Amino acid sequence: MRLLIIEDDREAADYLKKALREAGHMAEVANDGEAGLAIALDESFDVLVVDRMLPKRDGLSLVSELRSRGKETPVLILSALGQVDDRVTGLRAGGDDYLAKPYAFSELLARVEVLARRRAPNSAETVYRVADLELDRLSHQVTRGGEEILLQPREFRLLEYLMRHAGQVVTRTMLLENVWDYHFDPQTNVIDVHVSRLRSKIDKGFAKPLLQTVRGAGYMIRDGAR
């Protein structure tokens, strides 16, 4: 995956570049809004990571400009402002996801990977499959090995989100934002408990566990244990 990091703090940008390379991705760095816009328009990237406050041209105006020129590269906006209304203005300007500073690298990595993959036109899919686990988005039916599994509505949405991003790491914050639509920190390990309940419904009694915990990052559903 090829990324462009537009960030004026050189140390933060270098750290990100290095960490992304270790995760197997290529990253370019631009240090101000104008340079970033020029490179983003000129070359092709899978994801842009854009700091909100940049010299010469701020992050939001960069994203709007990019979108108005028809460039649809997914954008992750980084910002020291993390409140609800900032997030809303960030997404309205054309950003695809919003991450408040300071962040854990694992969180950024998971979001960037989800953003890059999202471009694949699979949103019209009505049935998600991972190994012998099937989720029908229309009939709201979940089966494993042909046997029906009864889920609460929230558990269904949780599983739906995990399966849509099968093979990708999904963080607790991403689950909280996308399944519950909350953007605050619940302080307790509420998500873990929900996931472990879901796991007991879909994995219990089966030889091959599908829902895995990724240490220090989050969860992933995929075919085949590591």
Partner 1 sequence: MTALGKLFRTTAFKIVAVYLIVFALFAMAVIGYLARHTQALVVSQITEAIDAEVKNLQDVHADAGIGRLIDVVVARAQQPGSNLYMITSFNGATLAANVTDIDNVTLSRQGWSEISYRRTDEAADNLHDSRALVRVVFIGGFRILVGRDIEERERLRQILAAPARWSLVVIVLLGIAGGLFVTRRVMKRIDSMTATSEQIMRGDFGGRLAVTGSGDEFDRLANSLNAMLARIENLMGGLKHVSDNIAHDLKTPLTRLRNRAEEALRPNHTDAELRRALKSTIEESDNLIRTFNALLMISRAEAGEVRKTMTDFDASEIARDVAELYEPVAEESGLTFGIDTPESLPVRGSRELISQALANLVDNAIKHGGTTAGSKVTVAARKSGDRIEFTVGDRGPGIPEADRLRVLERFVRLEESRSRPGAGLGLSLALAVARLHGGDIRLEDNSPGLKVTLAIPAQPGQTKGA
Minimum CB separation of residue 193 from partner 1 in Å reads 4
Local structure of 48: helix, strand or coil: strand
The residues binding partner 1 (CB under 8 A) are 82-85, 88, 100, 102, 104, 154, 180, 182-190, 193-194, 197
Nearer to partner 1, 145 or 186 (CB): 186
Using CB atoms within 10 A of its CB, is residue 68 exposed (0-12), middle (13-18) or buried (19+)?
A: exposed
CA pair distance 186, 108, nearest whole angstrom: 19
208 phi/psi in degrees, rounded to 5? -105, 105
| Residue 56, Ramachandran bin (φ over 0: left; ψ between -120 and 50: alpha; else beta) | left
> In the bound complex, what is the minimum distance in angstroms from residue 89's beta carbon to partner 1?
10
Q: Which is nearer to partner 1, 6 or 158 (CB)?
A: 158
Tell the smallest beta-carbon distance from residue 210 to partner 1 (Å).
20
Question: Measured from the CB atom, is 161 or 180 closer to partner 1?
Answer: 180
CB of 98 to partner 1, least distance (A): 13
CA distances from 219 to 23, 127, 212 (A): 17, 21, 6
DSSP state of 165: T
How far apart CA 157 and CA 181 sit, in angstroms, is: 12
CA distance 132 to 206: 10
Nearer to partner 1, 180 or 206 (CB): 180
- CB of 85 vs partner 1, minimal distance in Å: 5
